[in-house]
A and B are shown apart, each in its own frame.
Chain A
Amino acid sequence: MKFHRRTLLTLAGTFLPPFSALHGRSLDTDSFAPQQVVVKLFGAGLGSLDSYGTGVLVTAEGHVLTVASHLVSAGFLTAVTSDGKRFAAETVATEPSLDAALLKLKTEPSDQFPCIDLKSALDPEPGTPVLAWSNMFRVAAGNEPVSIVHGVIAASVPLEAVQGKWKFPLQSRVWLIDAITNNSGAAGGLLTDDSGRPVGLIGREIRHAVSGTWVNYAVPLTTLRPAVEAMLEGRKLAAAQPQRNTPALSARELTARFGLALMPAVLERTPAWVDGVIPGSTAAAAGIRRGDLIVLIGDAVITSEADARRRLAEYRPGQKIAITVSRDEQLQELSLVVAASATDNR
């Protein structure tokens, strides 16, 4: 994409048809800029997990914000920009507490993209009319414009949702929307006000923990902005790019330091199953049991046994670690304090 600034601005004015009269008033054509910043994502799906999703360009160099879904963790992502061009996309970082992932399109250094300015994101009140822009149901292909649905911000609430049997890890206030955004491929799309100004990131296909109904929600961009900035600057710890300066603990070190043994890594991605806990150890004190599956350490999703050893290596004596395990199909959050006596000889 060898765009120049002028080309981009012209595109916004001419490429797209005029937006007419939502809620009885006319909107100028620039409102269609969301069409330009939303990208269609394609990756690996399996069974009920779709192979497609949506993302939003947040930098001119081609950083894309989306949800931290299976598409991101599986890798091999392709992004299709509004002009129909295809790019490979790699994960820069994820932020599980906000269910956010930052991708980078593999581009030429000179490539420039239209993007939203997160600093200009609005924080509207419930009752505000909104539009949701997404690749839902993969209706649009190539350079075809993404689907738009309309609605109103119904409430601003903490999300209590489940994904299958799991508690959904998102720990932020979200907007509930009265439009149906809970659709295949819509997650990671852009929520704007009815003038096209950016507001939020469309959430995933999850159900409410109590009612079991499908939740239509979006995470405010004002909430996501610090995390995106951190991910851009590489400040935040990120599962996708483990910090290389702390080597992973060996299985022996893990047992020595925490009194914890994990199922040996027979495959590249052997899950972090707890194989044994030494009585009286730090792990035992935290309540970890044989058979637990470690799913979160701090706010990082643990995808494998190796991932757990790498993550636990980062903590120093006296630090408190929040470890979330899955036990009997329930998530349990345990607290582990790294004991001074458990320090190894280094």
Chain B
Amino acid sequence: MGRCSVCLLVFLSTLTPLTAEDLRQNERQRIEVIQRIAPSVVCVMDSAGAGGGSGVLISADGFAISNYHVTSGSASFLKCGLNDGKVYDAVLVGIDPTGDVSLIQLQGRTDFPFATPGNSDNVRAGDQCLALGNPFLLASDFSPTVTWGIVSGTRRYQYPANTFLEYTDCIQIDASINPGNSGGPLFDIQGRWIGINGRASFEKRGRVNSGAAYAISVNQVLNFIDHLKCGLIVDHGRTDFTVESDEQFNVIVRQVSELSEAWRRGLRSGAILESFAGRQLSSANDFQNVVGIFPEGTRIPLVWRDRSGRHSATVRLGPLHSFRKAPELPQERRQGPPDEQAEAEAQEQPSAELQKLFIARDGFSNYYYNQLATQQLLTPLRMRLADIPPAAAWKIQLNSVEQDPGLQAELVVTADTIGLRLNDRSWLQNTTQPNMQEEPAMFPGFLIAIGQLHRMLQKEGPAFDELTAAGKTLHLPSGRTLKVLNARSGTRLARWYFDDQEALPVALDLEPEAATDEIRLIFADWKTWQGVIFPERLGIVDPATEQVRWLQTSDAIGKQESGK
């Protein structure tokens, strides 16, 4: 038949049937995998040992991931059961309310068993998967319940249903997921951790498994993990433009804020957005999915097409919700006992030792962990600066290399003034009341940024109003994942980047003034000069091209007294 000539002839598959021995071997392997992964599964309860959901240990020092909707019903302290039958104290560390993720730390051991993450981008529909957790709170001895299924779909988007909990880029599974499974791990059949089971399509049967459940992908969780470890209320990102799909599977840019970086890079309504964060887009859902997996403040590359051709640029994601306190969930979304009175009565007072691990502060989930992470960055920095004598003023000679041979610059920096002489021109910037008119057009904001560097490298420690560790992020254009230290003075936010080798920062991003391009500096080859530590090479990122213009330090002098 002519008609069937175009039918897909897929029915020629010649699979050899499985033998009984194959099946037995599969079963043995499955049992072995479950035995290996089960110890990492956590039964999460409130501090009275009631209610509960699930979680998964991710490191030997007791860090464990769960759902925000599991831990949000509890206070800052929790009880966690493992399949060794023991109950451990735990403290809330960080929360990601939008992504429905929370990080807790179990106490009392340094050798906790933990799960090893896989790459959830490699998960395919049809893959076998294992969901472990504590459905219906069945595990009175804390040995997790195991359900098996297949991946029903990937890159699913689930709208925030009556809440702010938004599931982007998630994994849909048909393994049974029931109340109590929330926060528990999803594993692939090799036992690699690929997701956090958190949501299901519940309908006519009530709140029980319907064969359609959703797991937050482990790759998304890992994008947020260092932020969570910093004790933050982590926010997701948003763009300063909107998009919609058209019939030809193009993603069309709709409204672009005229104050945004995207606007300054030339993105306009009507452009076709081809890729975002390296992912090709064919629908508005695709776009939502990609945006949703990044924390606020991440710099993202994008590619678009318009009448004048194809363009690329990077933009920084703004904050989506800016929660200052942990947001409340509707009662039905929370787990655990609804009767707060009874809960309060039943709660035992956490030990004094445990209480030290929690500090409440606006904008933070647990400020104790932020202090810890901030000190981990500042302590080596201070030790490095201890080698040099205190210098109130710097005098730095810079030469350009590569692009602009012959460019000569001299920088004079004091606590309140920065002077720059560039070839025959000069600028003088006041650091307390900076003025963009006093910035060189070639690199606007450079003087203000150098002023910030001067504050950062004070021998007595960085001089800012507030310093907070802010996790790890992808730094562009270097492409490296770096630790971030946010330094605030007044309303100005400077993002300092650190790697694992160097105690001194490797980069700085700073918005010198609202609605202007960031000045982005790269510090390479730190060197101790005459009384001052300064990088031998200083890179300035061109926002339009993402190219780095390098300046070479030829001499640097630090002076005790004011250099005015």
Do A and B come from the same complex? Answer: yes
Chain A residues within 8 Å of B205, by CB: 214
Interchain Cβ contacts under 8 Å between A and B, 15 examples: A21-B128, A23-B26, A24-B23, A30-B8, A60-B3, A60-B6, A112-B6, A116-B7, A131-B126, A136-B201, A146-B153, A147-B152, A148-B150, A180-B211, A183-B210
Indicate if the CB atoms of A141 and B283 lie closer than 8 Å: yes
Indicate if the CB atoms of A139 and B126 lie closer than 8 Å: no
Does B5 make an interface contact (CB < 8 A)?
Answer: yes
Name the contact of A150 in the complex, choosing from B9, B15, B174, B212 (C-beta under 8 A): B174
Indicate if the CB atoms of A60 and B4 lie closer than 8 Å: yes
Q: Which 9 A-B pairs have the closest CB atoms?
A: A180-B211, A24-B26, A33-B10, A149-B174, A19-B126, A17-B124, A195-B13, A30-B10, A147-B152
Which residues of B281-300 are within 8 A (CB) of A? Answer: 282-283, 285
Give the interface SS of chain A, mostly helix, strand, loop or mixed.
Answer: loop
Indicate if the CB atoms of A150 and B150 lie closer than 8 Å: yes
Name the contact of A21 in the complex, choosing from B155, B189, B204 (C-beta under 8 A): B189
Known: A22-B126, A137-B212, A143-B249. A150 touches B149 (CB 8 A): yes
Q: Give the Cβ gap from B128 to chain A, nearest Cβ, in Å.
A: 6
Chain B minimum-CB-distance residue to A216 = B211
Does B245 make an interface contact (CB < 8 A)?
Answer: yes
Which residues of B6-25 are within 8 A (CB) of A? Answer: 6-11, 13, 15, 18, 22-23, 25
Chain B residues within 8 Å of A28, by CB: 13
Does A196 make an interface contact (CB < 8 A)?
Answer: yes
Q: Give the Cβ gap from A152 to chain B, nearest Cβ, in Å.
A: 13
Chain A minimum-CB-distance residue to B26 = A24
Does A251 make an interface contact (CB < 8 A)?
Answer: no
Chain A residues within 8 Å of B156, by CB: 139-140, 144
Indicate if the CB atoms of A197 and B7 lie closer than 8 Å: no
Which residues of A156-199 are within 8 A (CB) of B? Answer: 179-181, 183-184, 195-198
Which range holds the interface residue count of chain B?
A: 35 or more
Chain A minimum-CB-distance residue to B23 = A24
Known: A139-B212, A197-B10. A21 touches B282 (CB 8 A): no
Report Cα–Cα, A198/B10, bound state, in Å: 10
Q: Encode A55-79 as 1/0 by CB contact (under 8 A) with B.
A: 0000111000000000000000000
Name the contact of A196 in the complex, choosing from B5, B10, B155 (C-beta under 8 A): B10
Report Cα–Cα, A112/B128, bound state, in Å: 34
Chain B residues within 8 Å of A179, by CB: 174, 211
Name the contact of B8 in the complex, choosing from A9, A136, A148 (C-beta under 8 A): A9
Chain B minimum-CB-distance residue to A63 = B3
Interface centre among A25, A115, A147 (most CB of B within 10 A): A147
Chain A residues within 8 Å of B11, by CB: 117, 120, 196-198
Chain B residues within 8 Å of A143, by CB: 249, 282-283
Name the contact of A84 in the complex, choosing from B15, B25, B151, B249 (C-beta under 8 A): B249
Indicate if the CB atoms of B153 and A147 lie closer than 8 Å: yes
Report Cα–Cα, A27/B126, bound state, in Å: 9
Indicate if the CB atoms of B7 and A60 lie closer than 8 Å: yes
Indicate if the CB atoms of A8 and B4 lie closer than 8 Å: no
Indicate if the CB atoms of B153 and A144 lie closer than 8 Å: yes
Q: Give the Cβ gap from B313 to chain A, nearest Cβ, in Å.
A: 27
Indicate if the CB atoms of B18 and A24 lie closer than 8 Å: yes
Interface centre among A5, A22, A37, A136 (most CB of B within 10 A): A136
Does B460 make an interface contact (CB < 8 A)?
Answer: no
Report Cα–Cα, A184/B204, bound state, in Å: 9
Q: Encode B100-134 as 1/0 by CB contact (under 8 A) with A.
A: 00000000000000000000000011111000000
Report Cα–Cα, A150/B147, bound state, in Å: 13
Report Cα–Cα, A114/B124, bound state, in Å: 22
Chain A residues within 8 Å of B9, by CB: 117
Chain A minimum-CB-distance residue to B13 = A195
Report Cα–Cα, A17/B153, bound state, in Å: 11
Does B353 make an interface contact (CB < 8 A)?
Answer: no
Indicate if the CB atoms of B201 and A137 lie closer than 8 Å: yes
Does A45 make an interface contact (CB < 8 A)?
Answer: no
Does B203 make an interface contact (CB < 8 A)?
Answer: yes
Chain A minimum-CB-distance residue to B2 = A60
Chain A residues within 8 Å of B245, by CB: 142
Report Cα–Cα, A98/B15, bound state, in Å: 32
Report Cα–Cα, A30/B15, bound state, in Å: 12
Chain A minimum-CB-distance residue to B176 = A180
Report Cα–Cα, A114/B153, bound state, in Å: 21
Chain A minimum-CB-distance residue to B153 = A147
Q: Give the Cβ gap from B494 to chain A, nearest Cβ, in Å.
A: 41
Does B275 make an interface contact (CB < 8 A)?
Answer: no
Does A246 make an interface contact (CB < 8 A)?
Answer: no
Q: Give the Cβ gap from A17 to chain B, nearest Cβ, in Å.
A: 4
Chain B residues within 8 Å of A12, by CB: 8, 10
Chain B residues within 8 Å of A60, by CB: 3-7
Indicate if the CB atoms of B13 and A196 lie closer than 8 Å: yes
Does A31 make an interface contact (CB < 8 A)?
Answer: yes
Does B172 make an interface contact (CB < 8 A)?
Answer: yes
Does B209 make an interface contact (CB < 8 A)?
Answer: yes
Does A243 make an interface contact (CB < 8 A)?
Answer: no
Chain B residues within 8 Å of A184, by CB: 203
Q: Encode B236-253 as 1/0 by CB contact (under 8 A) with A.
A: 000000000101010000
Indicate if the CB atoms of A148 and B10 lie closer than 8 Å: no
Does A18 make an interface contact (CB < 8 A)?
Answer: yes
Interface centre among B8, B18, B209 (most CB of A within 10 A): B8
Known: A24-B18, A33-B8. A148 touches B125 (CB 8 A): yes
Q: Give the Cβ gap from A115 to chain B, nearest Cβ, in Å.
A: 5
Q: Give the Cβ gap from A199 to chain B, nearest Cβ, in Å.
A: 11
Chain A residues within 8 Å of B13, by CB: 27-28, 30-31, 195-197
Chain A residues within 8 Å of B25, by CB: 24
Indicate if the CB atoms of A19 and B7 lie closer than 8 Å: no
Indicate if the CB atoms of B8 and A36 lie closer than 8 Å: yes
Report Cα–Cα, A12/B13, bound state, in Å: 14
Report Cα–Cα, A22/B249, bound state, in Å: 32
Chain A minimum-CB-distance residue to B158 = A139
List 5 other contacts, CB 8 Å, given A5-B6, A143-B249, A183-B203: A20-B127, A22-B150, A30-B13, A149-B212, A197-B13
Indicate if the CB atoms of B285 and A148 lie closer than 8 Å: no
Does A43 make an interface contact (CB < 8 A)?
Answer: no
Interface centre among B3, B10, B205 (most CB of A within 10 A): B10
Indicate if the CB atoms of B26 and A114 lie closer than 8 Å: no
Q: Give the Cβ gap from B43 to chain A, nearest Cβ, in Å.
A: 26
Indicate if the CB atoms of A18 and B3 lie closer than 8 Å: no
Does A271 make an interface contact (CB < 8 A)?
Answer: no
Chain B minimum-CB-distance residue to A141 = B285
Chain A residues within 8 Å of B151, by CB: 148
Report Cα–Cα, A25/B13, bound state, in Å: 13
Does A145 make an interface contact (CB < 8 A)?
Answer: yes
Chain B residues within 8 Å of A115, by CB: 6-8
Q: Encode B398-419 as 1/0 by CB contact (under 8 A) with A.
A: 0000000000000000000000
Known: A5-B5, A139-B153. A149 touches B211 (CB 8 A): yes
Name the contact of A24 in the complex, choosing from B5, B8, B22, B149 (C-beta under 8 A): B22
Q: Give the Cβ gap from A243 to chain B, nearest Cβ, in Å.
A: 25
Chain A residues within 8 Å of B22, by CB: 24-25
Indicate if the CB atoms of A180 and B174 lie closer than 8 Å: yes
Report Cα–Cα, A96/B249, bound state, in Å: 37
Q: Give the Cβ gap from B138 to chain A, nearest Cβ, in Å.
A: 20
Report Cα–Cα, A25/B172, bound state, in Å: 21
Chain B residues within 8 Å of A181, by CB: 211
Indicate if the CB atoms of B7 and A136 lie closer than 8 Å: no
Name the contact of B211 in the complex, choosing from A3, A183, A197, A198 (C-beta under 8 A): A183
Chain B residues within 8 Å of A214, by CB: 204-205
Chain B minimum-CB-distance residue to A26 = B15
Known: A20-B127, A22-B128, A141-B283. A8 touches B150 (CB 8 A): no
Q: Encode A107-121 as 1/0 by CB contact (under 8 A) with B.
A: 000001111110110
